[in-house]
Chains A and B, each alone.
Chain A
């Protein structure tokens, strides 16, 4: 390859949503010299997307990924010839768009496996569309696990300087205690530890949030801390991980944002999300840990309501590209 700058493959995601628009805006902002982008998508559809925002589509276009990677251009296009121009900004889920998004993602991930690119960022998509298109995968994690033959892939989130992982995310609150076991907590600590090390932190500091108020207050208001969470923390410490907790959920992010921790293990969805919203965090980047290749994506969906209006905010997409580039640098 010769060129030492990391090359990141970027897909537009669901083309009926804001994916193409946020991708164009990231390119329009200009790239630092520290990485290059290979846009993986249909050249015709991409040309329309750029022109809709009056951004010149003047990048070298390739049919062959190997040839594309040899290009010295900061941005190049790998034409997947998938079509889809008529779906652009359709503003609703469409099976064909789901198929196109899934294929571009799988193709990019395989390029990364083959070492042609250094990392992958996929544009916003929703599970429903992915399922409509693939007729097989309920979400992108499941698809990645099978396509990359990496059954242990797990997603973690990076917001600001803090990484987080959530044990029971999209489940009823009532069911959350069932998910809290010594093994699930230990696994979450280890995943977070691995993700933080991937990001270049040699001895990351991790906090584990408690499940109950006041961390159970010695067992008087809940026993999960004593029965499951504390034993998992002890075992993680024995394995050399710098981990604290269980930390009361109402102060764990106050401390983390003050710089006391690099990562937080959450028990449930709102533990993290209430704190993040209050702190004004918009850009959450999803990072796939335990994956043979670097993959990131913005945390928002295709925002069908905003499709084609030109008003979509691209900072989350930009952050996803930057995190992938940083991970690629660290991997080297």
Chain B
């Protein structure tokens, strides 16, 4: 224990036609990142070489076949090279099924590495849903794909931006369907997963706030009764199970109060409820964490940013934060397991 354990992170390169490779190159050049973890990129070595050139990031790309070959030396960007991008055929800034297929393969390998324990966690770069679909992989995004690869069903999306952590009862469904998902078993699952994740993020006894669904949390049934029928019973059950949970609180103040430090996390009842709050804090800083997987997975909270691909100007903040958060979660998972 003389030396702090450094998490081994499988970092996927993301969609090669987007700004993912450049963001990875920029992030791995930072001494603070190298001091924090042992990164290995799952991607295409030639694409990464070009990304280092575009961003003028210091260091060299080293293509490897297996994780065992990685040395984690400063100045080396070690890439498990799937050789699945033909650079002369790639058009940056556009949907390209080749890049979609490649992105899928990075996620698949990264997930397998995390599942086997070879990697401590997977950190993912942005993928393009359309490219993924055109390559024949029909998923509505990372979360669904990861759940399937891990063989689990009960997953939830948490967004983290600074001091604000928000988990979502549902994400990519219509508002109408989202309302139907606001039921005690699902709320309880999201509470349990959030409680676990926040502990992994370093809070010993998380205090979690649950948002209402309706304006003013329904105001005693005047503007909707889901709070009374579903949300309050779920909160009571969570308390019985020993969790420190408060709510339902009015949706328009619960996220600000959480951000201000009154709670360690908040539960949003639908996609936009949580996303509006997070995005007001600045689009580039967010981290997306998938809860409910048997592995630790963090991700950037932005898209492929095709408009900036190849220019070297994409902002790496979100990936840097995702790497830092994964490292913290790995370290706490080890500590909690002891």
A positions within 8 Å CB-CB of B = 169-177, 211-214, 216-217, 220-223, 248-251, 253-254, 268-271, 273-279
Closest to A279 in B: B280
Q: Chain B contacts of A251 at CB under 8 A?
A: 279, 283
Question: Could you pull out 29 A-B pairs where Cβ atoms are within 8 angstroms?
Answer: A169-B215, A170-B216, A171-B223, A171-B224, A173-B214, A173-B224, A174-B226, A177-B176, A213-B171, A213-B275, A214-B172, A216-B174, A220-B140, A221-B173, A221-B174, A222-B175, A223-B174, A249-B276, A253-B276, A254-B283, A269-B216, A270-B215, A270-B276, A271-B276, A273-B251, A277-B255, A277-B256, A278-B259, A278-B277
Contact with A along B160-179 (1 / 0, CB 8 A): 00000000000111111111
Q: Chain B contacts of A173 at CB under 8 A?
A: 175, 179, 213-215, 224, 226
> How many Å lie between the Cα of A270 and that of B274 in the bound state?
11
> How many Å lie between the Cα of A270 and that of B179 in the bound state?
14
Q: Is the CB of B273 within 8 A of A274?
A: yes
Q: Is the CB of A273 within 8 A of B252?
A: yes
Q: Is the CB of A270 within 8 A of B172?
A: no
State whether A250 and B276 are in contact (beta carbons under 8 Å apart), knowing that A172-B224, A268-B215 are contacts in the complex: yes
| Consensus secondary structure, chain A interface | helix
Separation in Å of the A271 CB from the closest CB of chain B?
7
Q: Is the CB of B179 within 8 A of A174?
A: yes
> How many Å lie between the Cα of A177 and that of B180 in the bound state?
13
> How many Å lie between the Cα of A251 and that of B277 in the bound state?
10
- B86 at the binding interface (Cβ < 8 Å): no
B positions within 8 Å CB-CB of A = 140, 171-179, 213-216, 218, 223-226, 251-253, 255-256, 259, 270-273, 275-281, 283
Separation in Å of the A225 CB from the closest CB of chain B?
10
Q: Is the CB of A172 within 8 A of B214?
A: yes
Separation in Å of the A157 CB from the closest CB of chain B?
13
> How many Å lie between the Cα of A177 and that of B174 in the bound state?
10
Q: Chain A contacts of B278 at CB under 8 A?
A: 250
State whether A212 and B215 are in contact (beta carbons under 8 Å apart), knowing that A250-B272, A254-B280 are contacts in the complex: no
Q: Chain B contacts of A211 at CB under 8 A?
A: 175
- Residue in B178, B251, B252, B272 whose Cβ sees the most chain A Cβ within 10 Å: B272
Q: Is the CB of B224 within 8 A of A174?
A: yes
Q: Chain A contacts of B218 at CB under 8 A?
A: 172
> How many Å lie between the Cα of A221 and that of B173 in the bound state?
5
Of the candidates B176, B224, B226, B251, the one whose C-beta lies within 8 Å of that of A274 is B251
> How many Å lie between the Cα of A172 and that of B176 in the bound state?
12
Closest to B251 in A: A270
Which 9 residue pairs spanning A and B have beta carbons closest together? A172-B224, A222-B174, A273-B252, A250-B275, A278-B280, A269-B215, A213-B271, A249-B272, A270-B251
Q: Is the CB of B272 within 8 A of A177?
A: no
Q: Is the CB of A278 within 8 A of B256?
A: yes
> How many Å lie between the Cα of A274 and that of B215 in the bound state?
10
> How many Å lie between the Cα of A214 and that of B276 in the bound state?
12
Separation in Å of the B251 CB from the closest CB of chain A?
5
Of the candidates A170, A177, A277, the one whose C-beta lies within 8 Å of that of B252 is A277
Q: Is the CB of A270 within 8 A of B176?
A: no
Closest to A175 in B: B224
With A217-B172, A277-B256 known, 11 other A-B pairs at CB within 8 A are A174-B179, A177-B176, A213-B171, A213-B175, A213-B271, A222-B175, A249-B276, A273-B252, A274-B251, A274-B273, A277-B252
Q: Is the CB of A250 within 8 A of B279?
A: yes
Q: Chain A contacts of B140 at CB under 8 A?
A: 220
Q: Is the CB of A274 within 8 A of B252?
A: yes
Q: Is the CB of B272 within 8 A of A254?
A: no
